[in-house]
Amino acid sequence: MKPYKYLIVLTITGSITMSCNKENKAESFGEYNPLLASYETPYQVPPFEQIENRHYKPAMLEAIKLHDKELKAIAENKEQPDFDNTIVALENSGTLLNNITTVFYNLNSANTNEEMQAIAQEMAPELAKHKDNLYLNEKLFARVKQIWDRQLQLNLSAEQAKLLEKKYKEFIRNGAALNTEQKEKLRKINEELSVLSLKFGDNVLAETNEYALVIKDKEELAGLPEEVIQAAAEEATARDKEGKWIFTLHNSSVMPFLQYADNRKLREEIWNAYQMRGNNGNRYDNRINLVKMVNLRAERAKLLGYESHAAYVLEERMAKTPENVYTLLDKLWEPALAKAKQEEADIKELMRKDGINDEVQPYDWRYYTEKIRQQRFSLDEQELKPYFSLENVREGVFMVTNKLYGLKFKELKDVPKYHEDVTVWEVTENDGRHVGILYMDFFPRASKKGGAWMTSYRKQKMANSERVAPVISIVCNFSKPTAGKPSLLTFDETTTFFHEFGHALHGLLSNVNYESLSGTSVYTDFVELPSQIMENWAAEPEVLKMYAKHYKTDETIPDELIAKLQKAATFDQGFATTEYLAASYLDLNYHSLTEPLTQNVVPFEKAAMDKIGLTNAIIPRYRSTYYNHIFSGGYSAGYYSYIWSGVLDTDAFEAFKSTSLFNPEKASAFRTQILEKGGTGDPTVMYRKFRGADPSIEPLLEKRGLNTVKQDKLAPKNEFKK
């Protein structure tokens, strides 16, 4: 491989070139650092194999210095501010810092270790300070404001106008208009929040990794499928406990246990460990961290002139206000809870037949739901899984994408990657034109956070009139292959694959000028549209016959199984919708507070759930102390986004369903009006251009089986929003 070189051209101050390679080290950088190098790798992906933990901090500090110089050059430019010398210059600044932090934080989620977590904690205040230095720079803001104030005279294109709006609002929403005392207060809040957020996520990961349910007696495995038992045996062997079985709190382990294990006491034990993460009074306890974050966010919002953190966040969302979100949640809550209570009654009846007269507990739900599914629909999930090997599902995703958008996928074997489980793919148009690079990382490990997500190592943009191709990644936590069997997915995991691939397409097919507006750089309650619409194809009979092949015989999934799958499509949707909506209410209740939170989060959460009448048999999808989406991710006051986008995706899929699944005209419109546009337009307008009308909520209600539920008067009371 060629020596890596460090090359930066500062377009603002003139052409300044610095080089650093193994033969000729630049004096200011000392030891060769691959993060400070331009990537002379295939497709210019990060040189993962060469990056060591010791490289990150010096690289970030050097990149911060460089970005400071770039910003100073813009702020002190003697020329009159214009779009190019200020807005575009800002857009193009900080590229090196962005590249370095992108690699670091992506790997801190997907392949972390204690040293990386310590670096993240150490650098969080430095990066928060640097961000504040940017947005609280009075000279920079003055230049941006001058352009904003005379934008009508500048004859900007629609995309240029959107970039100007984005930059101006970023300054305003990050405190540029505050006085000196307020700015100092904001700096302290941002610094503390940056550390707390990282600590919250690290604590959840640590508690997830620390717990192990060790089973010594084979009789206690009764009810569990053979592949689940085999995976637990392999986990035990990996932990030097040969001859035993270990179940963990990773979803691919704990959820099958809750679904199939006959031993109710053991289900209760692992369930309590799962739902008590971050709430055990140990060094990983998140209760105090959470209260601090809620109050600091509320304080920051008031400082910036907003009633609450939710009001601050939602100003830049399709929903616009907390009241609009509550209206949607309330509209769905009543039928969802009514359906969930019907499902609970069915479970209770089956428990009585088993001689259990207790109330339905959360650790009973999945176990008895699976029994009811088998009885009512003759549908055993274990009967389905052989048709959903990871390889076949992947091919199905590729086929759907090819039929819709003409994309092709070729696996690359000689490209740097950060873990042996990762696969790398080149994505091209049908005619061979390069679209981008896709990393896929599917299996759980101690170094990876739970859940599934899409991210990018390089976003699409235009440079010198040429498209800079994106480098996209999807990360999941699917069941690992076992001895003699490939990774076999549940149907839920199958739809998760389709979902994350929809996000990937949003990043890959982006075709805009500016990185800030590229791909998934859209409102959070719009970003789930491309992902969730992809889920719809996964269950269509025509599509299932394309990819659902038995991993041993290559037999296509039988019509009888497809029919069962369709009949059961709305089964347990009361539970699924209710646990999700409960978490959405909880998020909004925390972030709609206008006074400091003074009580413990446990009674706060209970009060929030009591107010909406949540049954004790169900808990929110994420309890407060392990709610990574809102306390360690980017979804604070935004977890509702999935259901908001759900209205959009079900309505959008009707455009295909009512014509043909692979309607080329509709696919082309969705690509050009949604996937390629990124954040260059108003999402409401973009959606109307694709669909020809505003979305209807009816397709969502029908998909979830909520349109025929007999409803009681269960309308929630939302005192939290006042």
Q: At what angle do helices 641-657 and 573-591 cross, to 10 degrees?
A: 140
Distances (CA, A) of 614 to 118, 451, 608, 619: 39, 24, 9, 8
Distance CA 566, CA 685 (A): 34
Residue 474: phi and psi, rounded to 5, are -120, 140
DSSP, collapsed to helix, strand or coil, labels residue 463 as: strand
Dist. CA 491–CA 393, nearest whole Å: 10
Q: Which of 104, 121, 279, 137 is nearest to 192 (CA)?
A: 121
| Nearest in space to 461 (alpha carbons), one of 619, 150, 679, 658 | 679
Dihedral sign, CA of 629, 633, 637, 638? negative
Give me the DSSP letters along 13-62: T--------SSS--TTT-S--GGGSB--SGGG---GGG--HHHHHHHHHH
**Start-to-end CA span in the chain (Å):** 61
Cα–Cα distance, 306 to 559 (Å, whole number):
55
Active-site residue, from 343, 500, 515, 535: 500
Among 1, 156, 5, 126, which residue's Cα sits nearest to residue 56? 126
Distance of CA 283 to the CA centre of its chain: 27
CA distances from 95 to 9, 119, 195, 363 (A): 11, 21, 23, 48
The three-class DSSP label of residue 424 is strand
- Distance, CA of 541 to CA of 545 (rounded, Å): 6
**CA 678 from centre of chain:** 17
- How many Å apart are CA 605 and CA 619, to the nearest integer? 10
3-class secondary-structure state, position 488? strand
CA 633 to chain centre: 8
Query: Active-site residue 676, yes or no?
Result: no
Name residue, tokens 């809870």.
Answer: 337
Question: Cβ contacts of residue 98 below 8 Å, gap of 6+?
Answer: none
Residues with catalytic annotation? 500
